[in-house]
Structure 1
Amino acid sequence: MVSKPDFLVGNGEDQFRPEFQVESPEGELHLRFFIPSHQEFALLATGIREVIELTPDRITPIPNASPLLLGTLNLRGRVIWVADLGQFLGDGTALNTDRGEIPVIAIEEQETIVGLAVDEIGGMDWLDVKNLASPTNIPDTMAPFLRGEWMLNAESTQCLRLLDQTAILRSARWAG
């Protein structure tokens, strides 16, 4: 004879136990990631089309293209540019493409899609933009693409910087 599982036992009334209640998150969902110099950034999840990890041979190099661009990628039948995000932001450390997989964040606005190659994906987090501070100690090359930063802890100067994906997509740097 088979007995009822524990979750089917009861008098039929809805019973809410505290251990099964989920708190509603505060803020908005963001993707956290690192560029090669170990700086941490975030992008608002709603502007991200997808995040993929792919082998370097899936990125086709383009001769005489901007040094910011690693090449192109076929994303579900659509060819998109893939850029080294750290180099795009003016960081001096180039992305290591001699490895098994490269994380690429495909960002989209209207009909424009660009792949941003990063060093490492940190995960998803609910972050409240009300707690954003003005960015400090940033290079001029990075300033136009930042919306602000969160201080991760009071003891250190470690921060999480929020990127403005619209400013990245509309940047004149793509033409150079």
Structure 2
Amino acid sequence: MIDNAKQVSALTRVNSATSVTKNSPPAGEKFLRFQLGEEGIALLPLSIIKQVMQVPVAEILTVPQMPACVLGIYNWRGEMLWIVDIGKFMGFPNLATGGVENLMTIAIQVEEQYLGLVVQQINDIELHDKEQINMPSLGLFSPEILPYLQGYLIGANKEVLMVLNGEAIAKAPLWQLNR
């Protein structure tokens, strides 16, 4: 009987804590954290991410005369999804794809446009206050990256987290010229 009382008490505490959490909106916005190359850490707002998936390399159709960062197209949910090495696009070294069967891909949607961003590794989902995002500067980032940055944050381990501008990436002139 004592065990049941302890269980009810524990459930009441859990339910009370859950109801407080449900009623209190979290402060900030959710971002997906991932690796760009060996040293680059980037964030994308969850609001533009439609899916994170493993894309089989064998199912990517290469397209002739495309920039090196464009790996090809992939049939995703009946849509033609351009698959892009986002690290290469932003000036990081090529993603090592030799011998790899699947590529970690983030499908984003901006307005009616979809784009598959291939990344080295997905790390986590994090909550960040948009007010804490610093404006990017040329001294801190290369000119290739600046047009596609919303800004940057300093992480818990003092690392620089690049906050990517999904809309700028999806509407990059490179995609518009090659469509």
- Mark the CA change 1:78 to 1:18 in structure 2 (over 3 Å): closer, same or farther: closer
TM-score (norm 1): 0.83
Take 1:27 and 1:80, find their aligned partners in 2: how far apart are those partners? 30
Aligned to 2:124: 123
Aligned to 1:109: 110
User: Following TM superposition, by how much is the alpha carbon of 1:20 offset from its aligned partner in structure 2, in angstroms?
Assistant: 3.9
Aligned to 1:97: 97
Identity in percent:
25
Aligned to 1:45: 46
How many residue pairs align between the two structures? 167
| Superimposed CA distance per residue, residues 148-174 of structure 1 (whole angstroms, 9 cap, x where no aligned partner) | 1111147x5x21110000001111122
Please identify which structure carries the higher helix content: 2
Secondary structure in 2 matching 1:121: strand
TM-score (norm 2): 0.82
State which of 132, 144, 148 in structure 2 corresponds to 1:145.
Answer: 148
User: Following TM superposition, by how much is the alpha carbon of 1:38 offset from its aligned partner in structure 2, in angstroms?
Assistant: 2.6
AA matched with 2:170 = L
Q: Pairwise mapping of residues 12-31 of structure 1 onto structure 2 (< 5 A)?
A: 15-16=12-13, 20-21=17-18, 22=21, 24-31=25-32
Structure 1: runs of 5+ lacking an equivalent: none
Take 2:121 and 2:14, find their aligned partners in 1: how far apart are those partners? 38
- Root-mean-square deviation over aligned CA pairs: 2.6
User: Following TM superposition, by how much is the alpha carbon of 1:67 offset from its aligned partner in structure 2, in angstroms?
Assistant: 1.5
Aligned to 1:66: 67
- Mark the CA change 1:53 to 1:85 in structure 2 (over 3 Å): closer, same or farther: same
AA matched with 1:103 = M
